[in-house]
Amino acid sequence: MHTVQTQIRDILEEALRPAQLTVRDDSHRHAGHAEAGSAQETHFFVHIQGSKELKGLSRVQQQRRVYQLLDDLMPHPIHALAMKIE
């Protein structure tokens, strides 16, 4: 079984083909929060660099595209997703 972090990485790499992709699990920072519940992997940060598929899109359009790609993982198991796109 793949971790949520691995699923995010696989989905984004396949669809966006970035020059560099960082997927960081920040769930430990939210341990004990009511929204986190008993889930282990819930909060993530992604840094996407050099994706031709996102080039030319506005910041909002870029973020919408990422959310569309990860739609099957939200709101469960992903509770929160922060991103930086360059």
Number of neighbouring beta carbons within 10 Å of residue 83: 17
Looking only at the bridges linking them, the beta strands covering 80-85 and 43-49 are parallel
Could you report the per-residue pLDDT of 51-85, keeping only the tens digit for each? 999 999 999 999 999 999 999 998 788 888 999 99
- Residue recorded with tokens 């993530």: 44
Looking at the chain, the whole-number percentage of residues with pLDDT higher than 90 is: 63
Tokens of 53: 């598929």
Q: Which fold does the domain 4-85 belong to in CATH? A: GMP Synthetase; Chain A, domain 3 (3.30.300)
The pTM of this model reads 0.83
Domain ranges of the chain: 4-85
